Amino acid sequence: MVSAVSAFVSAVSALVSAVSALVSAVSAAVLDVAAAVAEVAAAVAEVAAAVALVAAAVALVAAAAASTILSHFATSVFELIGCDPEDV
């Protein structure tokens, strides 16, 4: 009877060790996935920053173009009505 209990305790101990090893392996895999997700998030953030810079440059070019268009429009209208734009 004692040997049967001892064998059972040994089997349970081996099972606990196997489950512990499995949990450790899963934990390591989850950490690897988390690291990969963090790398992808960093890459996405870099792309977003680059897109924001391009958008800012486009906005500056559009603002400069709009400013030029408006001043040209004002100049052409004033000349059309016989007025010097500097006189206004």
Helices (H) and strands (E) in the chain — how many of each?
A: 1, 0
Is 60's pLDDT higher than 80?
yes
pLDDT in tens, 7-58: 999 999 999 999 999 999 999 999 999 999 999 999 999 999 999 999 999 9
Residues in the chain: 88
Using left for φ > 0, alpha for ψ between -120 and 50, and beta otherwise, residue 83 falls in beta
What per-residue string of b and e applies to 63-88 under the rule 16 or more CB within 10 Å gives b? eeeeeeeeeeeeeeeeeeeeeeeeee
Backbone torsions φ then ψ of 82, nearest 5 degrees = 80, 25
**Against a cut of 0.85, is the pTM above it?**
no
